[in-house]
Structure 1
């Protein structure tokens, strides 16, 4: 009897808790049904079930020969249907779901291309909030009506991202600014969304034990709170401005701190076209090779020298524009997510790249081990870092971006080793995850610009690797003669790199002629 009463008590308590939790969630989200945790969780669970059903019904139950064309065509169709359902989920739940969808779309060499291509739309065409929702956040955070703060406020957003949207506005003194306003329900939903995703990933890992995607959940749980704090984003923008103060071609909008809170970020407005807008680049007579070289210089120095890396370089966050001198300026936007690399990670990664350049397998194995990849898995890790198949690595890598044939071969070859790749991402040093994502996004930009035959960006990267390694050795040495030798070796190595890439440039010019 007591056991029955206890059971009923637990059941009623659970029901009461669910009802109370739903009521609190409903009230906290201004009675927006779509923002309630249980609604979002149910929608996500149903989507996962539907995706799994597509694969089971159309692919797994048919007994296809996996080497047959029919199997490949059916699998591609299932991928496409699954990707479309996942895109619908991201657009319905918004917020954190769009951020994770964007992350998936950046995993060019890990996720099937149907998912990558379908979800890429989230980088530039995320769902937009109504203007009254934008004004609501401004009123709550800045304690004034928008009409009191701005002379004009364009109702159409300049761009919409996963966590916020940006509007052009004019201050009372006539200054044109960009106002980034967080979506109103993102912070309230982020915790339940991450718990939901973690549960769904565990279910997928149970169904498909060879796939390990807990790393994606772990990274999202760590990074999203940073991205939700616009005060931190403003500080990151000022930090990168200070680090690159001598490079007048890099433009970072100045922050208006009097109009900035954790959910509202106001900055100077900067004109420009997206870095992948070939029509804008051609119309404004901007040299795409100059764009490519400057991006290579910027990110090589971030990764290998400064260890402070802008980790969301999708095309919507990088603008280009022609300056008064006829040269190209790079405008860097969205500073919410930065990787702050430890010195040992930065130097190990630089050493890994140098070992790839030297085709030194033993050194590759050693430095991959320093980054968390033990044993024979180093070869696959090297391929993921360089974006090339192993045969191409052994022949010698002298370009940052793989050509079209290398990329296609890489994607086809790696389809069969996705479980091993997910295992690498599970074990690699966590700071490397953002670097790998950054690499893939930059390669995608290079590929769009059609500058993959140019060696300039790769030359700068090689130089930065050398400086990173030898500067660390220099700082660790207490012997004057050893420091002198290290300095000579560093400059001799840099000289050889310059000679080599000058030769490649001349040879390329002669081939064109």
Structure 2
């Protein structure tokens, strides 16, 4: 090792020791403070438990930082044991974070769910360990739940004929119990976890500390944007009256989709902490056993979800931002009609018009492989000179495919491997994009990732037809904006003619695509035309 490398290593270790000493000192102080407060009978117990949760966060962060520093000390990326060692540290650290989230509960479960959805950013050890929090959130006791319901509505025995002792669903901030009114009406009662609102302030400070500590020790991991998003969105998700209003609003906006079911809200049994809704039968969208048993058409499910979200994003700019599998149910009624039941309306994103139109133009450019348009509208959305990487993050496709046409090339395992390698190579740039794009973009990234997760669970790959309805919605959104800018009949007619012409072209393309996908046509084309398959090669995204 050269003398300059030795000096650099000594400098890094010295800095790390100072930082670790500060962190360990903070942890010891937290534990000592918590011990002292435990002996003080006059201290408010909520404040005490909040302090304990903060101390638990200190301990976990210290343990993770020390593990990384000690395990990787003296190792170079070129060494054969470097990556296996690092992977083991990732796994140990992910398990510690999972344990912290489960012990602290509430907002920390929400943090774990966020991190578990960042498969384009975090090592797979973190993603695989934390994503289970979508299905395995801790439950509150039945006594605590009934006590909260009694405080807000009255005793459950006076309101409900039956109230299930075991929740039918548990999430980070609440859990849902099946109940029956005295007249036999079946309900789903969503009850906020007791104390989650009381703990939210100190929990967010703990999470900010955790993320700032990560940024300090590992500058390439910039997750401060996540803390900002959670601070902004948490109060909205803790207000169940707001959630009920969101549900009614989206039901009106999307009433023309007959396949969509939004549970009815019972306002007389709803408060900020208790949301009472109609009970809907159905199975989780990613439950393949239920899907197969009930002959659910998974291709129709993903197409309908695509229609739903294209309409929300491009046309209305009012977007349900938490479509994880627990919030999307599927059901087939006695007439054989499939339904998608959309739950949990606490977090909606209202897109500013300028953002929505730039986003629509960007997707039109991506579908058309229009590189000038991709650059222009990516930069308008804050990507700067990192626009190729931004396009890859948005589509979850390689740059070679983006430039060729995302609707022209089927995704392959080779492309998946290229994307995984690129995440590692461009990690600092990905983190930079997430810190610089508008906040709306972060929620759309999360929404896109969750929808892709559903497709993956159902073993569905996007094909050319997946982009057809998205194209329609983009055309409609841009035409509606142009009509609003018109100052005369001539302009109005020109815009309508142009929009309908574009919609006609999309319809023709759709019919041709369906016709060519028929088994007979595929057989004929395989005989008459020998088309070389597009070979996805590793391509430099950034020069």
Q: d(CA) in 2 for partners of 1:512 and 1:155? A: 55
**SS of aligned partner of 2:518:** helix
1:137 corresponding residue in structure 2: 148
Q: d(CA) in 1 for partners of 2:410 and 2:199? A: 38
Q: Is the aligned partner of 1:418 residue 2:427?
A: yes
Q: d(CA) in 2 for partners of 1:74 and 1:47? A: 20
**SS of aligned partner of 1:111:** coil
Q: Is the 8 A contact 2:306 2:466 kept in 1?
A: yes
Q: Is the aligned partner of 1:235 residue 2:239?
A: no
**SS of aligned partner of 2:382:** coil
Q: Give the one of 401, 415, 418 matched to 1:406.
A: 415
Q: Is the 8 A contact 1:274 1:319 kept in 2?
A: yes
- Structure 1 residue 401, shift from structure 2 partner: 9.2
2:481 corresponding residue in structure 1: 472
Q: d(CA) in 2 for partners of 1:23 and 1:433? A: 44
- Structure 1 residue 490, shift from structure 2 partner: 1.4
Q: d(CA) in 2 for partners of 1:102 and 1:118? A: 10
Q: Is the 8 A contact 1:386 1:400 kept in 2?
A: no
Q: Give the one of 70, 75, 80 matched to 1:63.
A: 75
**SS of aligned partner of 2:296:** coil
Q: Is the 8 A contact 1:231 1:262 kept in 2?
A: yes
- Structure 1 residue 508, shift from structure 2 partner: 3.2
Q: Measured at CA, do residues 258 and 399 of structure 1 come closer, stay the same or move farther in structure 2, by a change above 3 Å?
A: farther
Q: d(CA) in 2 for partners of 1:476 and 1:367? A: 20
Alignment of 1:16-55 (within 5 A): 19=37, 26-28=44-46, 36-55=49-68
- Structure 1 residue 211, shift from structure 2 partner: 2.6
Alignment of 1:334-483 (within 5 A): 334-374=344-384, 376-398=385-407, 402-483=411-492
Q: Measured at CA, do residues 150 and 213 of structure 1 come closer, stay the same or move farther in structure 2, by a change above 3 Å?
A: same
- Structure 1 residue 361, shift from structure 2 partner: 2.0
Q: TM-score, normalised by structure 2?
A: 0.86
Q: TM-score, normalised by structure 1?
A: 0.91
User: Gapped runs of 5+ residues in structure 2?
Assistant: 1-32, 524-543
- Structure 1 residue 446, shift from structure 2 partner: 0.9
Alignment of 1:18-417 (within 5 A): 19=37, 26-28=44-46, 36-58=49-71, 60-64=72-76, 66-67=77-78, 70-142=81-153, 144-374=154-384, 376-398=385-407, 402-417=411-426
Moved over 4 A (4+): 18-25, 399-404
Q: Is the 8 A contact 2:190 2:276 kept in 1?
A: yes
Q: Measured at CA, do residues 111 and 481 of structure 1 come closer, stay the same or move farther in structure 2, by a change above 3 Å?
A: same
Q: Measured at CA, do residues 110 and 402 of structure 1 come closer, stay the same or move farther in structure 2, by a change above 3 Å?
A: farther
- Structure 1 residue 20, shift from structure 2 partner: 11
Q: Is the 8 A contact 1:109 1:414 kept in 2?
A: yes
**SS of aligned partner of 1:61:** coil
- Structure 1 residue 73, shift from structure 2 partner: 2.2
Q: d(CA) in 1 for partners of 2:434 and 2:197? A: 27
